[in-house]
Structure 1
Amino acid sequence: MRSNEDVVREAYRLAEGNVLDGQGFRALFTEDGTFHDVPNSLTFHGDQIPQALTGFAGVFPDVHRELLAVHALGDVVAVELRIQGTHLGGFPTPVGEIRPTGNRIDVPTADLWYLRAGRVTRFACYNAANVLLAQIGATPDFRSAVEAARATTTGD
């Protein structure tokens, strides 16, 4: 049986833009395994898991994950990494799509992988979404947020 670290390293290989094997990635999970995109409050269950890969690769088709540190601690593998790529596809948001900018991203990330009997039961990705958005030119609209809060508190 492969070590937990080997399983996780294989998952990253399958998620690379030049490989992108969603079904192979899914096969590393238990039947009821989950993928949690923590910053975006998204959870993919079972056969939805490949959608997480294809959705991201549709925006950043050359996606690469540079693994900086991998720590296997029993049934948990903790990974520090950087998600890199080029913004070549539309980036979906609740108010519409951010058109491709061609900008490069280099996003600090920490991933936690939970395994049982050599298969992933839960994967939690904690990427710095604010860094990603800034790198593609989508900075926060603080003025609107302040005005909305002011209107709520003053009754305007």
Structure 2
Amino acid sequence: MESNEEVVRAAYRLAEGNVLDGPGFRALFTEDGTFNDVPNSLTFRGDQIPHALTGFASVFPDVHRELLHVHALGAVVAVELRIQGTHLGAFPTPAGEIRPTGNRIDVPTADLWYLRDGKIESFNCYNAANVLLAQLGAGPDFKAAIEAAETATTAA
């Protein structure tokens, strides 16, 4: 049986842009396993899990995860990494799509993997979404937030 660290390292290999094996990635999870994209409040369950990979790879087809530190602590594997790639696909947002910019991303990330009996039970990805958006040229719209708060205060 593979160690928990080996299972997690296999998951990263299967999620690389030049490999991208969604079914293989899914097979590493328990039947009811979850992939939690924490900054975006998204949870992928069961057979939805490969969609998290293919969705990201459609925007950054050369996606690569540079593993900086991997710590296996019993049933938990903690990883510090950088998600890297080139913005070559449309990036969906609530306001519409950001068309491909060709910009490179290099996003600091921390992942927590929880395993049971050699399978991934839960994967929590904490990527610096604000850094990713800034690297795409989509910084925060503070002016709109201030105007919305002022409008809400005036209406109250």
TM-score (norm 1): 0.99
- Which position in structure 2 is the counterpart of 1:24? 24
Query: 1:68-116 CA deviation, whole Å, 9 max, x = no partner?
Result: 0000000000000000000000000111100000000000000000000
Task: After TM superposition, list the pairs within 5 Å mapping 1:6-45 onto structure 2.
Answer: 6-45=6-45
Task: After TM superposition, list the pairs within 5 Å mapping 1:1-156 onto structure 2.
Answer: 1-155=1-155
Query: 1:97-143 CA deviation, whole Å, 9 max, x = no partner?
Result: 00000000000000000000100000000000000000011111110
- Separation in 1 of the partners of 2:2 and 2:99? 41
- Separation in 1 of the partners of 2:86 and 2:8? 24
Where 1:2 maps in the other structure, the secondary structure is coil
Shift of 1:153: 1.0
Aligned AA for 1:27? A
Shift of 1:155: 2.1
- Separation in 1 of the partners of 2:81 and 2:87? 19
Where 2:121 maps in the other structure, the secondary structure is strand
- Number of matched pairs: 156
Gapped runs of 5+ residues in structure 2?
Answer: none
Q: Which runs of 4+ in 1 moved over 3 A?
A: none
Gapped runs of 5+ residues in structure 1?
Answer: none
- Separation in 2 of the partners of 1:36 and 1:155? 37
Aligned AA for 2:155? G
TM-score (norm 2): 0.99
- Separation in 1 of the partners of 2:88 and 2:139? 18
